[in-house]
């Protein structure tokens, strides 16, 4: 069984409650608020670059209808990714992955959620092999099981977590569905599961994951009472838009690694 580790507070798209998501400003704020890790979303550009973007298009965050794969990196860099959040953020750029890798300090992790298909894996490997961030600090996450298998094969040194939302109505019993996820993760050699807060969380869930030798993370939690409940269950990490607030509410001290 995997040895216990301190609970990680993970800044969801950076400190995205207060700053525009998936920007360098949000990432810097998340680090300043003592997040143990930063979570970002990445997509492949038309010319093979990797940029930060959650949605299918830039409409919500940059006022442009194009997809990342429909624009070259240089064109994406001209977009304003901050104006939608408020006048203080006008002119904020869409970051390239390389900029984020260079911004993560020693002792903090970077969770990279893949939002593109398998074509992003070779590009991701090229970026990570440049050495801007030690691979020991990198965690790759995705909902797509086969995509994560490709990551595991291409980048055996990085940690891999399978994302999964809660079971839908009419689906198998939650613990049965969890067992299927656990079996898949173990077979594929993943490091853990990253499960939505819409699962019916209980101690038995966390115990099942841990007994399988896997880490158990949860997303996205912004309320103090809910964070306390999940921490008491023994989850390994809580992803939140409000890392400073959640850390303070849990009365946690920052990791002594940094």
On whether residue 174 sits in a domain, the answer given is yes
Contact 136, 59 (CB under 8 A): no
The predicted pLDDT at position 251 comes to 86
Q: What is the pLDDT along the chain (258 residues), one digit of tens a residue?
A: 444 578 999 999 999 999 999 999 999 999 999 999 999 999 999 999 999 999 999 999 999 999 999 999 999 999 999 999 999 999 999 999 999 999 999 999 999 999 999 999 999 999 999 999 999 999 999 999 999 999 999 999 999 999 999 887 556 678 899 999 999 999 999 999 999 999 999 999 999 999 999 999 999 999 999 999 999 999 999 999 999 999 999 987 665 555
| 17 is annotated as an active-site residue | no
Cα atoms in the 13 Å half-sphere on the side-chain side of 33 = 30
88 in a structural domain: no
For residue 1, the model assigns a pLDDT of: 42
Fill in the DSSP letter of residue 164. Answer: E
Helix (H, G, I), strand (E, B) or coil at 68: helix
Catalytic residue among 12, 17, 64, 162: 12
Distance CA 1, CA 215 (A): 10
Intra-chain end-to-end CA distance of the chain, in Å? 27
Kindly report, residue by residue over 144-192, the tens digit of the pLDDT: 999 999 999 999 999 999 999 988 755 667 889 999 999 999 999 999 9
Domain-embedded: residue 165: yes
Q: How would you classify the pairing of strands 8-12 and 37-44?
A: parallel
User: Rounded CA gap, 28 and 137, in Å?
Assistant: 17
The answer to whether residue 173 is catalytic is no
3-state secondary structure of 168: coil
What 3-state class would DSSP assign to 218? strand
**In the structure encoding, which two tokens stand for residue 47, read together?**
């010319």
Chain centroid to CA 8: how far?
12
Domain encompassing residue 30? 8-43+108-249
Considering the domain boundaries, does residue 85 fall inside one?
A: no
Inside any domain, residue 77: no
pLDDT score recorded for residue 33: 98
The active-site residue out of 17, 54, 162, 210 is 54
Q: Where are the alpha helices (DSSP H) in 196-257?
A: 203-211, 224-233, 243-249
**H-assigned helices in the chain:** 24-32, 59-62, 73-76, 97-103, 120-128, 145-154, 174-188, 203-211, 224-233, 243-249
How many independent structural domains does the chain possess?
1
Assigned domain for 147 exists: yes
Q: Examine residue 75 and state whether it is found in any structural domain, yes or no.
A: no
Predicted confidence (pLDDT) per residue in 12-36, tens digit? 999 999 999 999 999 999 999 999 9
Give the CATH number of the domain where residue 205 resides. 3.20.20.190
Q: Which residues are paired to 37 by β-bridges?
A: 10, 109
Cα distance between residue 258 and residue 149, in whole Å: 32
Q: Is residue 59 part of a domain?
A: no
């Amino acid at each position: 069984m995997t040895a216990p580790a301190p609970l990680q507070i993970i800044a969801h798209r950076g400190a995205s409650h207060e700053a525009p998501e998936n920007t360098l400003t949000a990432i810097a704020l998340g680090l300043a608020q003592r997040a143990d890790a930063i979570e970002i979303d990445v997509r492949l550009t038309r010319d093979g670059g990797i940029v930060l973007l959650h949605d299918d298009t830039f409409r919500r965050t940059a006022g442009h209808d194009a997809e990342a794969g429909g624009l070259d990196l240089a064109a994406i860099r001209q977009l304003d990714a901050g104006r939608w959040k408020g006048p203080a953020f006008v002119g904020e750029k869409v970051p390239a992955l390389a900029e984020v890798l260079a911004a993560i300090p020693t002792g903090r992790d970077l969770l990279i959620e893949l939002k593109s298909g398998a074509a992003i894996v070779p590009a991701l490997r090229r970026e990570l092999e440049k050495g801007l961030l030690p691979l020991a600090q990198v965690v790759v996450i995705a909902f797509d099981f086969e995509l994560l298998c490709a990551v595991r094969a291409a980048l055996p040194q990085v940690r891999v977590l399978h994302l999964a939302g809660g079971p839908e109505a009419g689906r198998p019993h939650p613990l049965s569905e969890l067992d299927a996820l656990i079996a898949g993760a173990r077979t594929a050699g993943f490091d853990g599961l990253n499960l939505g807060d819409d699962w019916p969380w209980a101690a038995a869930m966390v115990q099942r994951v841990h007994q399988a030798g896997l880490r158990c993370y949860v997303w996205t939690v912004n309320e103090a009472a809910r964070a306390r409940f999940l921490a008491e269950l023994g989850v390994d990490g809580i992803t939140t838009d409000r890392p400073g607030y959640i850390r303070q509410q849990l009365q946690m001290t920052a990791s002594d690694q940094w």
